[in-house]
Amino acid sequence: MHIVLAGSHGFIGTALRSSLQDAGHDVRVLVRHAVTRPEEIWWDPAAGRLDPAALHGADAVVDLAGVNPGTRPLTAARKREVMSSRVDTAGLLARTIARLDAPRPALLQASGIGAYGDRGDTLLDETEPLGRTFFAEVVRQWEDATRPAQDAGARVVLLRTGVVLGPGGGALRPLWPLLRLGLGGRLGSGRQYWSWITLHDEVRAIEHLLTADVAGPVNLVTRADRNQDVTAALAQALHRPAVVAAPAWALRLVLQDFSSEVLGSVRATPAALTASGFVPAHPDLASAARWLVEQG
């Protein structure tokens, strides 16, 4: 397949690009700097600039672009950056795809299970309404930006990704070193549901959705477990204790609005992904934790 990838240097994008290339796909990447390699395509999402010819002949466009909201305090300015980095990129790609002649490439658009907000123990499939938190509003505008491609008849898949468990990044980036030292533990009460997927299965799921007969929102999660069970399983695989809890008040103080992503409870189920025939390689916490330890 001929695939165009945005966000190729991120945590998920780096792994996806490598996997796609290993599988023999022709992968071109969108870049904001001057083009220096044949596989690069220049674009400027903030200015709305992308040559439609660059997407001509592509089978799919995968958009994983967007600034990481967890790396800096969520000030008003940072919130605007989080929003615009997603809406600008998704909107530009959707409008560009809409301008192409049929058959148009599929658009696999990153999104997140923050869409649902803090929903306690409620089991959430893709038919659930969106929540009212800042991140739910980000998802609402992010996904709405793909409308031009949908209206033009392109297949659009909204990748509502959960907590991605992988070495060196994602939700485990700050937690993994503490767990390895035996200094990790539950976050807040630990009773909140974390809907998780390993990086390996995240990449496999995206590859599966490149050709699966699926459109609309898809919860990219394997299952949901309580935070205290996730941290306990990881610590057990590392042969370390998991008894140093991080109090909710401290997390709210340090993380501010991003604390909702850590302390909020989202019990998402992969209804659409399962119905499409996808089977995870790591179906439970034990297998996921073993894989993580093997990755180092």
Using one digit for the tens of pLDDT, what is the confidence trace for 139-171?
Answer: 999 999 999 999 999 999 999 999 999 887 676
Q: Tell me, what's the pLDDT at 7?
A: 95
Q: Tell me, what's the pLDDT at 227?
A: 87
Q: Tell me, what's the pLDDT at 237?
A: 84
Q: Tell me, what's the pLDDT at 244?
A: 67
Q: Judge whether residue 253 has pLDDT over 90.
A: no
Using one digit for the tens of pLDDT, what is the confidence trace for 27-55?
Answer: 999 999 999 999 999 999 999 999 999 99
Q: What is the dihedral of CA 119, 116, 126, 155, to 10 degrees?
A: -170
Q: Tell me, what's the pLDDT at 152?
A: 97
Q: Give one DSSP letter per residue of the chain, joined into a string.
A: -EEEEESTTSHHHHHHHHHHHHTT-EEEEEESSPP-STTEEE-BGGGTB--GGGGTT-SEEEE-----TTSS---HHHHHHHHHHHHHHHHHHHHHHHHSPSSPPEEEEEEEGGGG---TT-EE-TTSPP-SSHHHHHHHHHHHTTHHHHHTT--EEEEEE-EEEETTEETTTTTHHHHHTT----BTTS-SEEEEEEHHHHHHHHHHHTTSS--EEEEE-SEEEEHHHHHHHHHHHTT------B-HHHHHHHHGGGHHHHHS--EE--HHHHHTT---S--SHHHHHHHHHHH-
- How many CA atoms within 13 Å lie on the side-chain side of 291? 18
- Taking the domains of the chain in order of start, what are their residue ranges? 2-295
Q: Tell me, what's the pLDDT at 252?
A: 64
Q: Tell me, what's the pLDDT at 239?
A: 76
Burial of 55 (0-12, 13-18, 19+ CB in 10 A): buried
Band (pLDDT 50/70/90 cuts) for residue 187 is confident
Q: Tell me, what's the pLDDT at 149?
A: 98
Per the prediction, the chain carries an average pLDDT of 90
Q: Tell me, what's the pLDDT at 259?
A: 63
Band (pLDDT 50/70/90 cuts) for residue 210 is very high
CATH among 3.40.50.460, 3.40.50.720, 3.40.718.10, 3.40.50.1240 for 2-295: 3.40.50.720
Band (pLDDT 50/70/90 cuts) for residue 255 is low
Q: Tell me, what's the pLDDT at 39?
A: 93
Q: How far from the centroid of its chain's Cα atoms is residue 162's Cα?
A: 6
**32 or 246: which leads in pLDDT:** 32
Structure tokens at 5: 């990838």
Which of 38-52, 106-120, 161-175, 273-287 has the least mean pLDDT?
Answer: 161-175
**108 or 102: which leads in pLDDT:** 108
Q: Judge whether residue 241 has pLDDT over 90.
A: no
Band (pLDDT 50/70/90 cuts) for residue 215 is very high
